[in-house]
Chains A and B, each alone.
Chain A
């Protein structure tokens, strides 16, 4: 079945360090890929997405490129800030999920990676 594997945390970095959180996926067909971020006490927020191979999603200095050949969607940021401390989830939309009334796309999530950035 469809699944997402992301690197286990926690990850602890100093401010201005380079960040990589690895994410690989298994899917039939051509899923869309997402990174969500969950700040303490808040709900998951969409950070970035890519809908087809070689697409690069970017937002708030974070980037991830949809690599079909390696089935990966690694999250990167060149210089992290303390405010980036959060839990990051990689996810894919299940392309085989049958659309129900009103339309819906099933999301399959990785386990999440907790990032702590120290000043």
Chain B
């Protein structure tokens, strides 16, 4: 149980285009999902917290107009990188919090590798 999937697992796009990454909780409902970014040999950095049915809360320094987050249902959150540039190349990881479990339990997806050429 408590499986989180991400799609795609990797994507290559051209500079200036937009890319959408999906995060799904497969066997539980998630009122809250989190989006992280991980650079090589660096820790995961929280980008934003996504709450179902409301606007995402972005961390300081994260451009909300560039990283669009939509949490339209209890099992799906999407991250859209708009007008991508090479510096947006990174590993993006989502996690989901099971609504029925303890507040500290986050379940992580396998990540999406984005390369912008």
Contact = CB atoms under 8 A, between A and B. Distances in A.
Interface of A: 4, 32, 34, 36, 41-46, 49, 51, 89, 93, 100-112
A89 B43 contact: yes
Given A107-B34, A108-B46, A109-B43, 19 more contacts: A4-B43, A43-B6, A43-B107, A43-B109, A45-B108, A51-B104, A100-B49, A101-B51, A102-B32, A102-B99, A104-B32, A104-B51, A104-B103, A105-B104, A107-B44, A107-B106, A108-B43, A110-B43, A111-B43
B108 A102 contact: no
B57 interface: yes
Contact of B110 (A4, A43, A46, A49): A43
Contact of B49 (A41, A93, A104): A104
A109 B43 CA distance: 6
SS of B interface (majority): strand
A93 B104 contact: yes
Contacts of B45: 109
Contacts of A42: 110
A106 B46 contact: yes
A97 B108 CA distance: 20
B4 interface: yes
10 contacts: A32-B104, A42-B110, A43-B6, A44-B44, A101-B54, A102-B52, A105-B104, A109-B44, A109-B45, A111-B43
Per CB-CB distance, the 8 closest pairs between chain A and chain B, nearest first, are A43-B108, A44-B108, A109-B43, A102-B31, A109-B44, A43-B110, A111-B43, A104-B32
A103 B4 contact: no
Contact of B51 (A100, A106, A110): A100
Nearest to A39: B110
Interface residues of B, number: 29
A104 B108 contact: no
Nearest to B3: A43
Interface in B89-117: 93, 95, 97, 99, 103-111
B57 A100 contact: yes
A89 B44 contact: yes
